[in-house]
Amino acid sequence: MTMQRILLFSAVCVASAGLGLAQQKDAQPAGVQPTASAANVSPSYVLGPNDQIAIQVLELPEIQAKSYRLDSDGTVDVPLAGTVRLGGLTLTQARHELENRLHSQVKDPHVSVSLLDSRSEPVSVLGAVNGPGTQQIEGSKTLFDVLAGAGGLKQDAGDTVIITRQKDEGPLNLPNTVVDPATGRSTAEVSVHDLVDLRLPGVNIPVRPHDEVFVAPGKVMYVIGNVRKPGGFTLSGKRGVSALEALSLAEGFAPDAAPKSARILRRTSDADLTRKQIPVNLKRILAGKAEDVAIYPDDILFVPDSKSKKIISRTAEAAIATVSGIIIWRGI
């Protein structure tokens, strides 16, 4: 055989091997085809429980005879590789993991991993909800649906829901969306009242896999002492309330209250736990003889007992001790 024939023969073999590898990588297990949602999935797709995948290994044709479904813990049993945890890995990372596991069996394994069926569509719901955590969604779910799936809002939930969406899912379709130029993730805020009251139906957007939903805790002010309903009251938005509004949330004075000797206890700074005392004559305010005053988030309105011989000299310390175990009510 001449040298030219040898070179031509070698080139044909290399081309055939390359074609065979490409065919192996594109092949699917017999009778199994990707679903519509999985057909054009990105290599950065993160595998999760119940996802169905196809694994091809050029050197081990027996491995690609069937599809593989990840267990609820994200693991999958692969011949010669054993039990492999692929949950939480991208398709590219899963391929590298399988190549490492098979390296002891095959000198230089050529592995490909493709998604056949996406059953893992996690959405994280955190913050002021009754059941925070990750939900696996199937089909179409809205923002309202996943909040309901998290057990609804806590009593001390605020008025803001923050949604963050991954770059691969496209930007959020909300007016106040902000896109992080570094990561491509988009973030937007939704008002709880707009969402729950259906005042703006457009805010009840469909959620997408790997969305992060965070319900911000409410800003709370407290009314304690001789009132009918002492407690902490959440404030909608970022505004405060007036002293009379705070008193109405507490359902008015209890018997033997001393409204003219009330106090507002206000932090001197965010870093300092001490509070200054601001005298508030609620009796004069109710009579229209004095202007109402503002109560801000984290303020304590304290109404003392008229039977006391004198106002407690350590009002702030006594009030703060009471606040530590107080019930939080949904305010205004």
Which tens digits make up the pLDDT trace of 203-212?
999 998 889 9
Q: Residue 14 above 50 pLDDT?
A: no
CATH of 30-117, one of 3.30.56.10, 3.30.1950.10, 3.40.50.920, 3.40.630.10: 3.30.1950.10
Q: Residue 167 above 60 pLDDT?
A: yes
Instruction: Mark residue 184 as left, alpha or beta (left: phi above 0; alpha: psi -120 to 50; beta: remaining).
Output: left
Q: Please give the pLDDT value at position 130.
A: 94
CATH of 219-329, one of 3.90.1150.10, 3.20.20.70, 3.40.50.1220, 3.10.560.10: 3.10.560.10
- The pTM (predicted TM-score) of the whole model is 0.57
What does the pLDDT look like over 23-36, one tens digit per residue?
444 445 545 566 55
Q: Please give the pLDDT value at position 329.
A: 67
30-117 and 219-329 agree in CATH topology: no
Higher pLDDT, 44 or 315: 44
Range with lowest mean pLDDT among 71-85, 145-159, 225-239: 225-239
CA distance 311 to 95: 73
- Rounded average pLDDT over 243-253: 94
Q: Residue 19 above 60 pLDDT?
A: no
> Whole-number mean pLDDT of the chain?
80
Q: Please give the pLDDT value at position 127.
A: 93
What does the pLDDT look like over 178-188, one tens digit per residue?
999 999 999 99
CA 310 to chain centre: 50
The DSSP H or E segment spanning 122 is strand 122-127
Domain residue extents for the chain:
30-117, 122-217, 219-329
Q: 182-206: b or e for each residue (b if 16 or more CB lie within 10 Å)?
A: eeebbbbbbbbebbeeeeeeebbbe
% of residues, the chain, pLDDT over 90: 38
- Rounded average pLDDT over 289-304: 92
Q: If you classify domain 122-217 with CATH, what class do you get?
A: alpha beta
Q: Please give the pLDDT value at position 305.
A: 86
